[in-house]
A and B are shown apart, each in its own frame.
Chain A
Amino acid sequence: MNPEKLPKRVLEAYIGEYASGKSENAVNRALDLAHLGRKVTLVDLDLVEPCYTLRPLKWKLEEEGVTVLAWDTGELIGLGETGNILKPEVRFCLRHPGDVILDIGYGSFGAQVLNLVEGAEEEQDLNVYAVINIARPMTGTVPDIVDHVRSLARVDGLINNSHLGEDTDLDFVKQGALIVKEAAAILGLPVVATSVMEELAPALRKTDWYGHPVRVIKRYLPQAFW
């Protein structure tokens, strides 16, 4: 990541298919920015399972200087499909100074959930990124990805997050990069990055096989049971 190329305020929302890697990408992005000494707020916008993705990570993120807007497990009864209450600070998250990273988790119908965030619609500098993993059967081919991204409405860029968990190899990440590139071309959107797990990152440098910037992902989410 080139610190000089970053805007004054990094405002990004991560959306996409269930289990596509939104939270892992959002968490890594928040930490990368914090490690540069920037003020960062990470926002949990999971509307169905609010604490479950971030809860074991909240303390760790806060230790590293990230402000986390998310329910503490003890503050909320897990009601699953019956719904939950939006945390008030989450509604006003864009008013936080510095960088704001929104993890638009489960229960989102694309960017519609941004309707709940004050000022999101007007905020031109907010970039909404669709995270794509071609190993997820519903977004495995170019036409599927194009349909999927179109259904999300407001999307400013794609992130290739193709992986098979422990069974990932660079070949698979490369396949993903190509497919996402082709889908992006049809959609008229940039491929913002290819995310690759840190074990495989040394083989790639700053950009992937097609010139997309590489984001190195440290796996934090396996510590979250869900």
Chain B
Amino acid sequence: MGVIEGEKKAFMTGNEAVAWAALAAGAEIMYGYPITPQNEIMQYWTRLAPKHERKFLQTEDELSAGFTTIGGVLTGKRAFTATAGPGNVLMQEPMSMAEAMRIPTVVVVQQRGGPSTATVIYSQQEVTLTCFGGNGEGLRVVYSTSSHQELYDYTIKAFNTAWKYRFPTFVLADGYQAKMRESLVLYDPEERGIEMVPTEAFVGKPGMPGEDRPPAHLRNTYNIEEELEEVLKKDIQEYEQMAPEIIEYDEFNTDGADILVVAHGVVFRSAAIAVRKLADEGLKVGYFRPITLRPFPQEQLRQAAAKAKQLMVVESAYGQLLKIVKDNLYGMDLPIRTLLRPGVGVTPEEVVADLRTVLEGRED
């Protein structure tokens, strides 16, 4: 591949980091449709692609972008697409198909205000959609990043996770990460010992079907309920079995915490700054960060929560992370405080202020 020689420190926006990562990962084609705030992924990919003999197709809408990504994957190409907001809503139809047929699609989502067109800017309001959208059971992998380095690292990883486990894989970020500028290290995955999982075609395989090999009988539809049940049982079992290998999370200062702050993505950045500041003052505050929202680090959160007096969930949505947290903590009786700001950024100062209110026993 040799797209990047050695390790290169660069300064860029998150969207660019995604384009560079896809290039470094050996992605062969991007299918795209414009929507703010992810347009620059497409713009940078199309600037870089010709120099590296990669391809691009702009489709007529996101339904098509999702389906053509599936098409590309079916031919054995490392293919991806990116979207946001209402585009993500449209993507649910092709992504349901990818779930049904175990197709390793990679989609980068840059969350913007919702519902509908709302703002072109930012939110964390596409968590439910990205994790459980479509008319399926949410058999997906969703990584939630909080820095440009992670956008780069996890975009590369998404291709490997998708192709190894064969579930649609998402990199979930947001408009702030997409547009803000910071430095990161670009690298060739192979040079860091990351072997890219090989792709393979689903169609056009060599040999006679039925004789040399089983037929490539790709289905997203069944005749009777029991057939569906059999397929889903198998997929669910595989999903649950592979979950421990995929789950990622981070935690800090969880032992005997008076408050355990739970946050993901760019809001985690603010929460972490706030928690570390107060921990430095000797206060018993910790954090738990799910990096994979799907599959969710349930056991790990339960263990951390068991040691805490209460939880505080912080997100730029009205309870989308909260719902997942509560679901995973079912049966555990502990108070959960919330800082919910749908469509609006959360600063470290706001988290600090709220934590102090609780810790100093002052309630508004």
Measuring CB to CB, which residues of chain A are less than 8 angstroms from any residue of chain B?
Answer: 18-19, 52, 78-81, 133, 135-138, 140, 163-167, 225-226
A165 to B39 CA separation, bound complex (whole angstroms) = 23
Contact with A along B85-122 (1 / 0, CB 8 A): 00000000000000000000000000000000001111
Chain A binder among B158-166, B180-188, B220-228, B350-358 = B180-188
The answer to whether A135 and B40 have CB atoms under 8 Å apart is: no
List, sorted by A's number, 7 A–B pairs whose CB atoms are closer than 8 Å: A18-B40, A19-B11, A52-B179, A80-B120, A137-B12, A137-B16, A165-B181
Chain A residues lying within 8 Å of B180, measured Cβ to Cβ, are 225-226
A52 to B179 CA separation, bound complex (whole angstroms) = 10
How many residues does chain B have at the interface if contact means C-beta atoms less than 8 Å apart? 28
Q: Which of B7-48 contact A (CB under 8 A)?
A: 8-13, 16, 20, 34-37, 39-40, 47
The answer to whether A163 and B120 have CB atoms under 8 Å apart is: no
A164 to B176 CA separation, bound complex (whole angstroms) = 18
Decide yes or no whether B76 CB sits under 8 A from chain A. Answer: no
The answer to whether B35 and A164 have CB atoms under 8 Å apart is: no
From B47, B119, B181, B186, A138 is in contact (CB under 8 Å) with B47
Q: Name B's interface SS.
A: mixed
- Nearest chain B CB to A36 CB, angstrom units: 29
From A81, A165, A226, B35 is in contact (CB under 8 Å) with A81
Chain B residues lying within 8 Å of A81, measured Cβ to Cβ, are 34-36, 39
From A18, A52, A78, A164, B9 is in contact (CB under 8 Å) with A164
The answer to whether A135 and B183 have CB atoms under 8 Å apart is: yes
Q: Which of B140-195 contact A (CB under 8 A)?
A: 175-176, 179-183, 186
CB contact under 8 A between A79 and B179, given known A18-B13, A137-B12: no
Measuring CB to CB, which residues of chain B are less than 8 angstroms from any residue of chain A?
Answer: 8-13, 16, 20, 34-37, 39-40, 47, 119-122, 175-176, 179-183, 186, 345
A11 to B176 CA separation, bound complex (whole angstroms) = 32
Chain A residues lying within 8 Å of B47, measured Cβ to Cβ, are 138
The answer to whether A79 and B13 have CB atoms under 8 Å apart is: no
The answer to whether B179 and A166 have CB atoms under 8 Å apart is: no
A136 to B40 CA separation, bound complex (whole angstroms) = 14
The answer to whether B179 and A164 have CB atoms under 8 Å apart is: no
CB contact under 8 A between A225 and B11, given known A78-B119, A79-B120: no
The answer to whether B11 and A133 have CB atoms under 8 Å apart is: yes
A18 to B175 CA separation, bound complex (whole angstroms) = 16
The answer to whether B36 and A225 have CB atoms under 8 Å apart is: no
- Nearest chain A CB to B66 CB, angstrom units: 19
From A52, A80, A163, A226, B11 is in contact (CB under 8 Å) with A163
The answer to whether A166 and B20 have CB atoms under 8 Å apart is: no
The 3 closest A-B pairs by CB, nearest first: A80-B36, A135-B11, A80-B120
The answer to whether A19 and B183 have CB atoms under 8 Å apart is: no
CB contact under 8 A between A135 and B10, given known A81-B34, A225-B122, A225-B176: yes
Chain A residues lying within 8 Å of B121, measured Cβ to Cβ, are 52, 78, 225-226
The answer to whether A225 and B39 have CB atoms under 8 Å apart is: no
